Amino acid sequence: MGTLHGDSSSSTLFSWRFHPSCIELLCLICGAALVFSYSWLMDDAYVYFRYIDNFVIHNRGLVWNAGEYVEGFSSPAWVFIMSGLRAIGLNYWTAARAVGLLSFVIFWWLCCLVNRGFIQLNNNRESLNAPLVYLTFNYAVSCYFTSGLEAPLVNLMAAVYAAAILAPLNVPLQLIVGASPLVRQELFIPFVMFCFFVKSRKGSPFPWWSIVSFLSLAGGYEIFRVWYYADLLPNTFYLKDLTWITQGLRYLWDSLLPYQAIPFCAGMALVFEALRRRDGLGRLLWRERLALLLFAAPVFLYVIKIGGDPRHFRYLAFPFIITIFATSGLIERLVAGASRNILRFSKGCLVVLAVACLSNFPRQINQHPLLRIPMRNSNTRVNLITDAAAHRLSINQVTPPWSPSSSPSHVALSYSDSIARFEAESAANQLINRAPLGRRIPRSSLRLGKTLDNLPILSDSWCQNGYLHQAIPIIHNLGLTEPFLAHTKMRSDRPAHKYGLRPLAQDILEMRAEFGFGKGVFDRTIAEDANPPRWVVQNIDSLRLIESKVYNQHNIVENLKLALTPVKQIVP
């Protein structure tokens, strides 16, 4: 029988194959049903969709606006996966749910393996798997197996890291850990910590497969990023690179409070202490458990530092899940050798835990989302944070209806309709590409969202609108895909939401309408406009450097110089 480890001398051995317990089978069935029931699309997902359609369908490249090379997404791995599914004709609504369900099944499988690895008892003992029960029926974890964003990959990476801690010499796990920074940039820190963890084990070789994977995949993408975008980091990093610790602590509390995470972890800590006194510390795999907690710590701190996210729980998924994994196997060790009545009682307690977890939901909604009762005007913000339900039940139909519908959001996600819409807008697209830089349009005639001199331009923060109008250049007025705004120093009204950027976005829209798209627009504004915006004049050096990045010629040597040149923050 093969083991998960690549070396039979490893201290932690368990089989790839196992017989799931009744509780684990119940978690598989109920968890898949919950993932499907909670499935939704976040508005930010439409940024990915526009990038991918431009790349796969419209042949404009991996861009938001044609000809502007800005990396306005956070997960290259998610782009690769969804591009492949889009290329075979799937619409995003189907693809997001399919990837979510598949990710959950793999997540469940790894949960079962990890729990058995931490039990370290004979393979015939039934796995009660309290961490799996807690995570399966946790609303926040289940609903983030969809969203249209990279969330299912983040959840899955937490399980992969937990398995890799127990099987550090396993080649497939090392390869996946090495590629994990492509899922989210902050996973670079756990990757480095994993390498040190493996090397610190007595007699363990250096994790070369992780290094090879990281250099070839993450390193290869970094070379592409420099060549294509003339930058070292995505645009979203600059937008969210701020310090807002008080809001970050509120975000942490908002994510832990609804699910009794603190009582659960405290109870498991008491079980650990009882086992330590009974069995000794060495048999509890305390180093592996400590490693999981240490892997979670820097991600917790990073999220607190940047103020969290506008959406409940999303940024804390990885550290939250990996922390729960650190409690694996404790219940089984506690009841080892106990009578059947004790085992039945333990199973009853797990059923109570499942019901309790299923009954919990965020403070931002006034009833459990499984009820599927329309809650118009009932979704609220708590500490500047909203929940997935705000997008799932939005009157703007960010998430498509479940049944076939002619609503814009549902039709737009159809592969064939996307091509038809592109062809219908081709005339406008050709005008955009031909727009001369010297064309002048009176500023007094500008109206947001109107067509000026046959040149349509929009300034908007609603990402779905960007997807519904793919042929029209759109200035994201909160800076998500707009590099000039992302590099601007501005107070945050909510995490990643700086409403003070909108007047600057309007200025950029007006300059684009006057002078078109390309390098030199800000210089032309200063030279030819009688009253140029003051922030443009004061920050012209930074604006020129960003322009050189955005409109680069894909020369690797020149782009490397641009990528290594720091951009001085724009001060309006």
Secondary structure of 238-260 in HEC code, one letter for each residue: HHHCCCCHHHHHHHHHHHHHHHC
267: buried, middle or exposed (CB in 10 Å: 19+, 13-18, 0-12)? middle
- Secondary structure of 260-311 as H, E, C letters: CHHHHHHHHHHHHHHHHHHHCCHHHCHHHHHHHHHHHHHHHHHHHHHCCCCE
- Secondary structure of 103-148 as H, E, C letters: HHHHHHHHHHHHHHHHHCCCCCCCCCCHHHHHHHCCHHHHHCCCEC
The per-residue pLDDT for range 200-229, each reduced to its tens digit, is 987 788 899 999 999 999 999 999 999 999
In this model, does residue 258 exceed pLDDT 70?
Answer: yes
* Token duo for residue 354: 């499942």
The per-residue pLDDT for range 117-144, each reduced to its tens digit, is 998 755 456 789 999 999 999 999 999 9
Half-sphere exposure of 453 (CA within 13 A, CB side): 17
pLDDT at residue 248, rounded to an integer? 97
pLDDT at residue 222, rounded to an integer? 98
The per-residue pLDDT for range 344-361, each reduced to its tens digit, is 999 999 999 999 999 898
What is the reported pTM? 0.91
Q: What is the mean pLDDT of residues 361-377?
A: 74
What residues does each domain of the chain span? 22-359, 425-564
pLDDT averaged over every residue in the chain: 87
Q: Given the DSSP bridges, would you call strands 474-476 and 458-460 parallel, antiparallel or unpaired?
A: parallel
In this model, does residue 455 exceed pLDDT 70?
Answer: no
Which of 520-533 are b and which e, b meaning 16 or more Cβ less than 10 Å from the residue's Cβ?
ebbebbeeebeebb
Of 510, 516, 532, 521, which Cα lies nearest the Cα of 448?
510
Torsion of Cα atoms, 166 then 170 then 173 then 175, to 10°: 140
Confidence bin at 1 (pLDDT 50/70/90): very low
Can you tell me which residue has the tokens 């609108």?
Answer: 465
Can you tell me which residue has the tokens 């480890």?
Answer: 5
Residue 246 to residue 379: CA distance in whole angstroms = 23
In this model, does residue 374 exceed pLDDT 60?
Answer: no
Region at 203 (left for phi over 0; alpha for psi -120 to 50; beta for the rest): left
Residue 304 to residue 312: CA distance in whole angstroms = 13
Torsion of Cα atoms, 119 then 120 then 126 then 128, to 10°: 0
pLDDT at residue 103, rounded to an integer? 98
Q: What is the mean pLDDT of residues 447-455?
A: 42
pLDDT at residue 202, rounded to an integer? 79
Q: Which helix H or strand E contains 455, and what residues bound it?
A: strand 455-456
